[in-house]
Amino acid sequence: MYLEILEKIQEVLNSINPLILFAIVSLLGMYLFWSGSMKSRKNSSSVYDIFAISLFGGLIVGRICYIVMNWSEFSNFIWYWLPYEKYGEEIYLFRLLPWRFIRIWDWRIDILSMFVAFLLIASFWILVVKKWKWSHMFTTIFLTAEGMLATSFILLGGSTANQEWLTQGIIMILLPLVLFFLKNSVKKAIIGKKELRILMILDVIFISLIVTYVTYTYFIVEISNTEKISILTFAVWALLGMVFYIRESKKTDITIERVSSVRTVSKLDINQPIKLPKQK
C-alpha cells in the first residue's frame, strides 16, 4: 500500500515542471522569512530584498558546487557561442556549454550547499548591511533555510521514489512544527521575562536537535568533500549562532528591565507634587 502511494506521488511530481517545484520551495521560504521578521517588527521591503538576495546567491553556489562535484557530466558537452541549436524545425535551448551551466531548471543543484550559502549570505546582510540584532533574526534565518531544505528533500524523495529522503524531509518538517506549538503554549501560559528565557531555551534545544539530525543524515552515507565542507560549515554556523543568540538575548533582558524601571520612576515623579526644601 505504501509503495503504491509512493508511486502515485512520483507520477504526480514528475509531471510537474521542476521550475514550479522550485517556486513552491521558494514561496514557502519567503513566507517563513516574512513571518519570523514581522514578529520583530522589521520593514517588509527590507525583509523581501534580504530573502531574494540570499536565495539567489545560494542558488548560484549550489549550482557551482554541483558542477564541481559532477564535472565529468558537463565536460562531455561541446562549447558554442549561441544559447540555442536549430535542427530543421526543432530548436533546443541551453544544451551546450557555457549556456548549460545556467540551466538550473534541470534541478542539477547541490541542495545542502545552496541552503548553507543562504544562511551565510542572509547573516552577512542582516549584521553588516542592515545592522539588525542577531537575537531578532537568528531563528528566522535558520528555520527558513531548514524549512526549504526539508521541503526539497520531500519533493526530491517523492519524485525519485526515494523513501529515505522522503522520511528525512518529513522529520525535518515535524521538528520545527513541534517547536512552534510549544512556543505558542508558553506564550499563552507565561508572561514576562520568564517567557523570553523559556522561548530562548526552546529555540536552542530544537535547533540543536535539527542540526544534529541533519548532520547525522549526511555523515551516515558516503558524501563528497564539497558536501563535507558544507555540512561542517552548517554545524559551525549553527553553533556560533546559538552562542551569540544566547549572549545577546541576555543583554536584551537586562536593557528592558532598566528601561521599564526608569519609566516607572519618571511616571511617579510627574504625578507627585514637587516638594521644596524648608528654608532655615
The Cα–Cα gap between 240 and 237 comes to: 5
The Cα–Cα gap between 139 and 122 comes to: 12
pLDDT digits (tens, 9 = 90+) for 138-148: 999 999 999 99
Higher-confidence residue of 189 and 130: namely 130
Mention every residue, 6+ apart, whose C-beta is less than 8 A from residue 50.
33, 122, 125, 126, 130
pLDDT digits (tens, 9 = 90+) for 228-267: 899 999 999 999 999 999 988 877 554 444 444 444 444 4
Q: Bridge-partner residues for 91, per DSSP?
A: 86
pLDDT score of 28 more than 80? yes
pLDDT score of 118 more than 80? yes
Please give the model's pTM, rounded to 2 decimal places.
0.79
Contact assessment for residue 105 and residue 22, using Cβ atoms and an 8 Å cutoff: yes
Percent of the chain topping pLDDT 70? 82
Contact assessment for residue 200 and residue 86, using Cβ atoms and an 8 Å cutoff: no
